[in-house]
Amino acid sequence: MADDCRWIDENGVSNVPVDDLPLLVLSYNYQSVIATLINWRRRSSCNHLMWMHRPGFFASQGAFYSEIPVKKYTKSHRLKFWTCKTWTAADRNLIISEINNWLKKPKFKTRYDFIAIAGQLLGLGGILQNPLTRICSDYGSFLKLADDRYDLKYPAPDQVDEWLKSHKEYEVYCKYLKD
């Protein structure tokens, strides 16, 4: 689909068919000063990675990894949804199962790695990353469950975006921007 992908409205975001899931979602919160600074520093169009694992909900890293209704993001985020045209039903189920496993973990095991953000902003990548915590883009590693070529360690969201663009099996499913 590349750049000629379809744009969907808020209703479309809430009603992505279950058979099309999971979708890796990259976002940019255009009302956040911190998000804008991250985008400026990284020269990127996205600063957050999450997964749509069931209709109407994202699995997203905030203070903890949790399920968030899509409406929280459709108010102030630009969204780009990625899919893989070669995933089988088994691949999709494996990724969704892993997402759900992480959502069930105790909060202390899914807390946000604030130090890693400093590393990202300073261009130090994984050097400052705590191996016991995660940032949003660490969940891009779920791609490895269906594609053993995924090799990013401690990526920023824009690096996952570039990786997806470089593999022809992946395509932009749709995009969303509030009117």
Tell me: pLDDT of 41 over 70. no
- What is the model's pLDDT at position 1? 39
Q: Rounded mean pLDDT of 46-72?
A: 94
Q: Rounded mean pLDDT of 147-161?
A: 92
Alpha carbon distance 110, 25 (integer Å): 19
Contact 85, 49 (CB under 8 A): no
Alpha carbon distance 29, 78 (integer Å): 7
Q: Longest C-alpha distance within the chain, in Å?
A: 41
Alpha carbon distance 89, 76 (integer Å): 32
3-class SS at 135? coil
pLDDT band (50, 70, 90) for residue 57: very high
Which of 110, 104, 101, 96 minimizes the C-alpha distance to 145?
96
Which domain covers residue 33, as residue numbers?
2-176
Residue 8: which CATH number?
3.90.1720.10
Please name every residue paired with 16 in a beta bridge, in sequence order, or none if there are none: none
Tell me: pLDDT of 28 over 90. no
Could you tell me the pTM of the whole model?
0.87
Which tops the pLDDT comparison, 76 or 14? 14
Which amino acid, residue 86? T
Alpha carbon distance 119, 107 (integer Å): 23
- Sorted by sequence, the CB contacts under 8 Å of residue 17 that are 6+ apart come out as 55
C-alpha distance across the termini of the chain, in Å: 22
Domain count, the chain: 1
pLDDT in tens, 73-125: 998 888 999 999 999 999 999 999 999 999 999 998 887 777 666 666 666 55
Percent of the chain with pLDDT over 70: 78
